[in-house]
Chain A
Amino acid sequence: MNVSISQHMRSSAIVFHVILRRACQRLAGYIFILPAVVLEGLFFGYPLLRTLYISLHDWPVLGTKHYIGLENYDYILSNEQFWEAMRFTGLYTVVVTPAIFIVAFGLAVLVNQGLPGTTFFRSVYFVPVVISFVSSSLIWLWIYHDLYGILNYILRELHLITEPIVWMGERKTSLPAIVIMIVWKTAGFNMVILLAGMQSIPEQVYESAALDGANFVQRMRHITLPLLRPSFALAMVVSVAGSVLAFDQFKVMTRGGPANTTRTIMMYIYDTSFAYFRLGEGAAMAILLMVMLIALSVVQLRVLQRQAVEY
């Protein structure tokens, strides 16, 4: 009897131990994701829902808020300033995206040829990626200086211009100037993504194409570009989102001027929310921007992936 009791006690101790251990494990699982979940809940989930809520109110910084339904959205969609900012953001994205990718693809091809010094060149093209958009905008402002800038000096020495160009004076010149700065700043990043894609193309594909007598250009067109579609898709989605959200470079270089002709949608949201303190309107624009951006990403992925399948 004594034996059976002790056996019984031991086996129930083991059962208890196993249950405790399982519970501990489950608990540990929860405890370990807790910091991340708290942060995401408080500073992401809650603000996300709250943006929706704010966007349905007239919400001045002083005084009282009141519910106005979809009036903010109504007002925004009939507001010419909003559409002007949207059009400019669209224009900028349409101009800068191909510029970035043509240069990035060229660079990726250049550093994928097994030439001497490849690692060095790859690093050099990547260096501008590591600095901020703000300091990169600042140092290019100095390059673009109308009187003492190095660019106007070179152009004048080459007799391409006679009078110095005031690059930031009007959109006709400031937009291409900023696009060039952004290409310099971001091409290296996209080069790296495309390069990763190129390295995953099997060498044999090129070898058999070379045996068939395909030259460099033909191999690029019929092998590299089609097989690179997934890499392009990934890089494009990231790059286009960055352009649609452009803020730093225009805030620093043109301040949206002259006469708001280079004001991006993000700058307009910033002005509305934090300069005019029309929070409801700012939140409603943020919602519109978010929906647009997600739709844009989905469409890009669909289009680029469908073509990849067709090939």
Chain B
Amino acid sequence: MVDSSHTRRILLTTNIVLSMLFLLPFIWTLATSVKIPNNIQVYPPQLVPRPITTENYEYLWDLNDGIFRRFFVNSVLVSFGTMGLVVVASTLAGYSFVWHHFAGKEIVFVLLLAAILIPFQALLVPLFQLMRDLKLLNTYWALIFIYSTFQLPFSIFMMRNAFGTVPHALRESAQLDGAGEWRILRHVMLPLVLPGIVTVAIYSFYVSWNEYLVALVFTTREEMKTLTVGLQQLSVGTYGTRWETLTTGSIVSFIPVMLLFIFLQRYFIRGLTGGALKG
């Protein structure tokens, strides 16, 4: 597609320069996080950290009786909880929408899809009252239920497409062999729709891990806060900004999603684009 080796060289150089610019914020954050605190707020900035230390990480780990560890664990529990609920509910629903016939199926599906149009941000007030009445404020369940509810429509759509690609004959022959609904789903269908499940799982984990507004509204007790809310408060809290906490905490918060991205990149991008990109 490119005309000459000259153009190719220009494009390659542009790629290299741009990717350095894109990585710079990460590198600068990492560099700051391994400096000794006295070397952080200095002018001119110390470009290469010297000496390199892990003291900020140790400090953060034990800060306020391990409150950061608690935030981290909260985020892990909420994200895995959401992931589990979304995977189970969307797999069952996707299977049902493709392979079962029941009254009102089309209406239910259209209503579910319409839910994609309406942002959860618009429903915060009634959700707050509902969670208060259900005594779920300051629990993991409040976040898990809300995150799951707003990721389900997309996930069901995804799983319906996944089940739609399974050949008809496969289910029929399993039925002739006398397999019941549950066995067909578990032993015949699941292996075939696994890529869809992985995509839905990664996507729901990623969204829950990074969410801020819902976590801010529904958790007010310190020990129930998730990483996004907790990190923001720890680093730009009431006592002025603590840059070593900010950079160190950010790096730690990147680790789970970065690992997901590195090892399951294909599923990750598919989840975000609704399967639009090849490769």
A residues contacting B by CB (< 8 A) are: 24-26, 28-30, 32-33, 35-37, 39-40, 42-44, 46-48, 50-51, 54, 107, 110-117, 120-121, 123-136, 138-143, 145, 147-150, 153, 184, 188-189, 192-193, 195-197, 199, 206, 215-216, 231, 234, 241, 245, 247-248, 251-252, 266, 269-270, 273-274, 279, 282-283, 286-287, 289-290, 293-294, 297
- Interface hits, B78-125 → A, CB 8 Å: 85, 88-90, 92-93, 95-97, 100-102, 105, 108, 111-112, 115, 117-119, 121-125
- Contact code string B120-155 (vs A, CB < 8 Å = 1, else 0): 011111111110000000000000011011101100
- 11 A–B contacts from the bound complex (CB under 8 Å): A28-B96, A28-B100, A36-B93, A132-B228, A133-B210, A134-B210, A148-B43, A195-B277, A215-B3, A216-B3, A294-B118
**Closest Cβ of chain A: how far from B101's Cβ, in Å?**
7
- Contact yes or no, A29 B102, CB < 8 A: yes
Residue on A with the closest CB to B228? A134
With A and B bound together, what is the CA distance between A123 and B278 in angstroms? 14
Q: Is B28 an interface residue (CB 8 A)?
A: yes
- Contact yes or no, B126 A142, CB < 8 A: no
With A and B bound together, what is the CA distance between A279 and B276 in angstroms? 40
B residues contacting A by CB (< 8 A) are: 1-3, 7-8, 11-12, 14-15, 18-19, 22-23, 25-26, 28-29, 32, 40-45, 85, 88-90, 92-93, 95-97, 100-102, 105, 108, 111-112, 115, 117-119, 121-130, 145-146, 148-150, 152-153, 156, 181, 206, 209-213, 217, 228-229, 231-232, 235-236, 241, 243, 246-247, 249-250, 253-254, 257-258, 260-261, 265, 268-269, 272-273, 276-278
Query: Chain A contact residues: over half helix, strand or loop, or mixed?
Result: helix
Q: Which residues of A contact B265 (CB under 8 A)?
A: 123
Instruction: Say which residue of A39, A47, A131 sits within 8 Å of B257 (CB atoms).
Output: A131
- Contact yes or no, B232 A36, CB < 8 A: no
Residue on B with the closest CB to A25? B100
- Contact yes or no, B7 A184, CB < 8 A: no
**Closest Cβ of chain A: how far from B99's Cβ, in Å?**
8
Q: Which residues of A contact B85 (CB under 8 A)?
A: 35, 39
- Contact yes or no, B102 A26, CB < 8 A: yes
With A and B bound together, what is the CA distance between A25 and B241 in angstroms? 60
Instruction: Say which residue of B101, B232, B236 sits within 8 Å of A26 (CB atoms).
Output: B101
**Closest Cβ of chain A: how far from B74's Cβ, in Å?**
14
**Closest Cβ of chain B: how far from A109's Cβ, in Å?**
9
**Contacts A29-B96, A138-B231, A283-B126 hold; do A121 and B19 have CB atoms under 8 A apart?**
yes
- Contact yes or no, B228 A110, CB < 8 A: no
**Contacts A192-B273, A216-B3, A290-B119 hold; do A132 and B18 have CB atoms under 8 A apart?**
no
**Closest Cβ of chain A: how far from B5's Cβ, in Å?**
11
With A and B bound together, what is the CA distance between A125 and B128 in angstroms? 37
- Contact yes or no, B122 A40, CB < 8 A: no
Highest count of chain A CB atoms <10 Å: which of B105, B127, B217: B127
Highest count of chain B CB atoms <10 Å: which of A24, A114, A130, A199: A130
**Closest Cβ of chain B: how far from A254's Cβ, in Å?**
11
- Contact yes or no, A148 B8, CB < 8 A: no
